[in-house]
Structure 1
Amino acid sequence: MKSITIKGSERESVGKKATKALRNARKVPCVVYGGDKPLHFSADELAFRDLVYTAAAHTVKVDLGEGKVRAIMQDIQFHPVTDKILHIDFYQLFDDKEVTMNIPVRLQGNAPGVRNGGRLLFRKRKLAIKALPDKLPDFFDVDISKLKIGDNITIESLLSDDFTILHPETMVVVQVKTQRAAIVVDEDEELEGEEGAAEGAETAAEGAETPEATDGGESKE
């Protein structure tokens, strides 16, 4: 998984007054849990742009000058009016200790069922998994190029020995549901329909070349 480096400074005071002063200086108070003791630090708001405002999942290297701490973002608080970042909680990573993290799902391809009038329902955009830090995937890539109307993809098809997915195997990730105007066809019928349409076009073209008598033509008496 890709990592983002956050350069910050360790906080000497964690009281309300000090926290307010940090926010007024456009810095975000943060804390890293999971180690021997909580690590309090602060960093510029812009330092979190690529971590917070993205659909991708990342690990973090907190750089405080004297060393780097590997972590993942666990919780974030925003101001209810301005949406400014108020506080971020991180959890420290260790090579031999599993961690729980939400991993985004990406859909690949175009579903034939949608072309036939079905409706694509993206049920789970993120999946919670448990894994060692080095086994954390960047995304779950889900191929929907064979989904017909009524088909779905469940957690079962995404299982791996590298991590544990913390959802039931039968949970639906994405599916194509029918609509009133939808046409349910299989691949053979689809091919036959295309061939029939081609033959029909050829017949129509031949018919157009053969003149036919009409009511406005000469009548034979």
Structure 2
Amino acid sequence: MSVTLKAIKRPDHTRSTTRKLRESGQVPAVVYGKEKESKSIAVDSIELIKTVRDEGRNAVISLDIADDSSVDVMLHDYQLDAIKDELVHADFYVVNMSEEMDVAVTVRLEGEPQGVKDGGVLQQALYEVQVRATPNNIPDEITIDVSSLDTGDSLTVADIPKAANYEILDDPESTLVTILTPTTDDDVEGIDNEDEEPELVGEAQTERNAD
């Protein structure tokens, strides 16, 4: 089920009008899609942030545009003001609810691996995977239980539990997470010794003869 977000048309693209929109709490945005005419709109900044926070990055949004028809969209991209940390622009992509699409989905690790308890180091290689699904079946995130992993163990994309309503597109052999072997004092000493310059046989023999 999609969540509703109200929007207004934005016919005037001048800098002064755009600035006033932002000052009033609105975010300039564009709606576009496959074989769809692009539309310039504006949405409430706080409402957009709340929607994404509550519903997830891949949520389907019913965009209720004033004096126009509603349209199902997903937030495709957004821009932030690095100094003010405020939204300055958003892109919405019109979706076909019966048509599959490819999107990036966050991978979240759950649990404390046994290998980490024993001193190992968890290294996550992939933080997102590409998923193909219809809009309503796109997961907000994919959770992987890593609590049983021991030192030296790893998980690949192939270890992600299969789902009937979406397909993972990444290479099945791509590593998701690895528990690295802990570094011990002996390992560090061994590395230090390896860095020492070897004694030259000729020089050592000369020193002994001199003695």
TM-score computed with the length of structure 2 as normaliser: 0.75
Determine the C-alpha separation between the residues in 2 that align with 1:118 and 1:12: 58
Matching residue of 1:97:
99
1:41 and 2:73 matched: no
Verify the 8 A CA contact 1:112 1:147 in the aligned structure 2: yes
Matching residue of 1:74:
76
What do you get for the CA RMSD once the two structures are aligned? Answer: 2.4
Q: Which runs of 4+ in 1 moved over 6 A?
A: none
Determine the C-alpha separation between the residues in 1 that align with 2:5 and 2:159: 35
Determine the C-alpha separation between the residues in 1 that align with 2:6 and 2:53: 18
Verify the 8 A CA contact 1:96 1:132 in the aligned structure 2: yes
Q: Quick one: percent identity of the two aligned structures?
A: 27
3-state SS of 2:36 partner: coil
Matching residue of 1:166:
169
- The 5 Å alignment of 1:51-200 reads 51-52=51-52, 56-57=56-57, 58-65=59-66, 66-158=68-160, 159-181=162-184
Determine the C-alpha separation between the residues in 2 that align with 1:136 and 1:55: 12
Determine the C-alpha separation between the residues in 2 that align with 1:16 and 1:100: 34
Verify the 8 A CA contact 1:56 1:104 in the aligned structure 2: no
TM-score computed with the length of structure 1 as normaliser: 0.72
Verify the 8 A CA contact 1:7 1:62 in the aligned structure 2: yes
3-state SS of 2:37 partner: coil
Query: Deviation of residue 77 (structure 1)?
Result: 0.7
Verify the 8 A CA contact 2:63 2:72 in the aligned structure 1: yes
Determine the C-alpha separation between the residues in 2 that align with 1:97 and 1:176: 39
Verify the 8 A CA contact 1:98 1:133 in the aligned structure 2: yes
Deviates more, 1:90-99 or 1:11-20: 11-20
1:42-65 alpha-carbon deviations (Å, 9 max, x no partner): 112111222455794322221224
Determine the C-alpha separation between the residues in 2 that align with 1:167 and 1:142: 16
Verify the 8 A CA contact 1:55 1:104 in the aligned structure 2: no
1:106 partner amino acid: R
Determine the C-alpha separation between the residues in 2 that align with 1:29 and 1:39: 11
Matching residue of 2:13:
14
2:31 partner amino acid: V
Structure 1, unaligned stretches of length 5 or more?
A: 183-221
Query: Deviation of residue 105 (structure 1)?
Result: 1.7
Which structure shows the bigger proportion of residues in strand conformation? 2
3-state SS of 1:82 partner: coil
User: Higher Cα Rg: structure 1 or 2?
Assistant: 1
1:114-143 alpha-carbon deviations (Å, 9 max, x no partner): 111111112222222222112211221101
1:32 and 2:31 matched: yes
Give the count of matched residue pairs.
181
Verify the 8 A CA contact 2:7 2:42 in the aligned structure 1: yes
Deviates more, 1:170-179 or 1:16-25: 16-25
1:144 partner amino acid: V
Verify the 8 A CA contact 1:71 1:91 in the aligned structure 2: yes
